[in-house]
């Protein structure tokens, strides 16, 4: 339920602001939809009349998450997810801004469809929603869209979703054209010819299961090509989902060369590996696929050192008709809006990643890369804030998730930590009771 917009004091909290690399005990005051102060002793010094005081003793207060890659089924596929249901799931997971993908029906490839999504979100969503627009018309990889018009309509970046642009000339032209508008190109690097009929990571485990594998080269070949095209054409480029050590080598080389290149990793690839597929669990069939444990560890190390810029949910709801099939025939994808943060806390509890580093990759960096407000607790910043209990143990029951589809890879997983309150624009939109 949406609360009113009276002032809120989050008292006695552990304040974590990754935008300023701060982690300290204190209070946070919210008024008129923005953050007023974040420091020790606000409550003792007096607060505005009518302020709602919330005791956050033992809890973390942090910026709301900005999920850079989530599929929402509107327009055309609302049986999978609606903007309303996605926003409810997001709020429960601490996500205050959803960046939705253009692979809808029809694709988000013209200004009218961008406007439809924005209007629909204003009417039905309880968190902020921004669309990425298609990079090529109809997501066909042949002719680029009107990037300038789409950006003016409200598109925050340009991508073909889970499809890759295999034509290098089209990609070069898109990078060149987007450069003039300072638009961000987000690309799913998975060569369809190398992927072929593969359904999981190529290797010994796939052979034992009798399943066709997808080589890591399917990712690295396109990523290396894209980086060379960025060097040639300029422009702002973001790799949508890196999954292996070889891709990290390419990314490091690009950054050391001064190119405007960043990358995301999904929470699934940070916390799961190919062995979790076990007895053909289709909820763990993803695109790109889960890799080996060595690659997962390298991704975690890259996140900890800052080589990986963004952690996203890769939220991709699929209904039972396309998931309750033999593994090779099942659709790829898993939901993740509601579990992105709590799954990431596994890395914090194990000591592999600092909390401030995880929150930076889930809030500050995606907001900065997309040019959006959020990801900060600075005075004057938009009051998109979450309260997190790091220590609550629980077992995930898919039936309790707010997404329309329940294809979570964390089905019945033991988790520690959960979001207890989500505030968007100074209003409480979710509270765990």
Q: Which residues carry out catalysis? A: 314
Q: Three-state secondary structure along the chain?
A: CCCCCCCEEEEEEEEEECCCCEEEEEEEEEECCEEEEEECCCHHHCCCCCCEEEECCCCEEEECEEEEEECCCCCCCCCCCCHHHHHHHHHHCCEEEEEECCCCCCCCCCHHHHHHHHHHHHHHCCCEEEECEECEHHHCCCCECCHHHHHHHCCCCEECCCCCCCCHHHHHHHHHHHHHCCCEEEECCCCHHHHCCCCEECCHHHHHHCCCEECCHHHHHHHHHHHHHHHHHCCEEEECCCCCHHHHHHHHHHHHCCCCEEEEEEHHHHHCCHHHHCCCCHHHCCCCCCCCHHHHHHHHHHHHHCCCCEEECCECCCCHHHHCCCCCCCCCCECCCCCHHHHHHHHHHCCCCCHHHHHHHHHHHHHHHHCCCCCCCCCCCECCEEEEEEEEEEECCHHHCCCCCCCCCCCCCEEEEEEEEEEECCEEEEECC
**Which burial class, exposed, middle or buried, applies to 299 when counting CB atoms under 10 A from its CB (0-12, 13-18, 19+)?**
buried
Asked whether 371 and 130 are in contact (CB, 8 A), the reply is no
What's the full length of the chain, in residues? 433
Smallest CA-to-CA distance from 171 within 136, 121, 137 is with: 136
Q: How far apart are CA 319 and CA 96, in angstroms?
A: 25
């Amino acid at each position: 339920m949406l609360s009113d917009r009276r002032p809120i004091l989050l008292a006695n909290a552990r304040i974590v602001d990754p935008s300023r690399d701060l982690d300290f005990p204190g209070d946070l005051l919210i008024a008129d939809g923005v953050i007023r102060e974040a420091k020790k002793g606000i409550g003792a010094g007096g607060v505005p009349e009518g302020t709602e005081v919330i005791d956050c003793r033992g809890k973390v207060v942090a910026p709301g998450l900005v999920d850079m890659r989530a599929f929402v089924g509107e327009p055309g596929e609302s049986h999978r997810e609606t903007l309303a249901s996605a926003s409810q799931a997001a709020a429960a997971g601490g996500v205050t801004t959803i960046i939705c993908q253009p692979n809808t029906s029809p694709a988000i490839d013209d200004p009218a469809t961008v406007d439809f999504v924005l209007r629909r979100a204003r009417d039905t969503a309880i968190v902020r929603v921004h669309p990425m627009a298609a990079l090529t018309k109809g997501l066909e990889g042949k002719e680029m869209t009107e990037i300038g018009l789409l950006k003016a309509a409200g598109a925050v970046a340009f991508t073909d979703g889970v499809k890759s642009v295999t034509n290098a000339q089209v990609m070069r032209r898109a990078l060149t054209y987007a450069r003039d508008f300072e638009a961000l190109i987000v690309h799913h690097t998975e060569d369809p010819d190398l992927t072929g009929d593969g359904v999981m990571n190529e290797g010994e485990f796939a052979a034992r299961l009798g399943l066709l594998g997808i080589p890591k080269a399917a990712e690295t070949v396109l990523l290396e090509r894209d980086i060379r095209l960025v060097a040639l054409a300029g422009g702002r480029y973001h790799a949508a989902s890196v999954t292996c050590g070889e891709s990290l080598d390419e990314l490091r080389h690009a950054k050391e060369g001064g190119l405007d290149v960043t990358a995301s990793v999904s929470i699934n690839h940070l916390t799961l590996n190919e062995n979790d597929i076990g007895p053909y669990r289709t909820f763990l069939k993803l695109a790109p696929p889960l890799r080996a444990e060595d690659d997962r560890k390298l991704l975690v190390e890259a996140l900890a050192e800052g080589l990986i810029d963004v952690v996203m949910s890769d939220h991709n709801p699929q209904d039972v008709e396309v998931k309750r099939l033999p593994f090779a025939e099942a659709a790829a994808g898993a939901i993740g809006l509601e579990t992105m943060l709590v799954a990431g806390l596994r890395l914090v509890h194990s000591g592999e990643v600092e909390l401030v580093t995880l929150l930076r990759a889930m809030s500050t960096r995606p907001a900065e890369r997309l040019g959006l407000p959020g990801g900060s607790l600075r005075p004057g910043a938009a009051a998109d804030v979450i309260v997190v209990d790091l220590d609550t143990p629980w077992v995930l029951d898919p039936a309790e998730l707010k997404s329309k589809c329940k294809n979570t890879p964390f089905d019945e997983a033991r988790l520690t930590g959960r979001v207890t309150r989500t505030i968007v624009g100074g209003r409480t939109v979710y509270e765990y009771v």
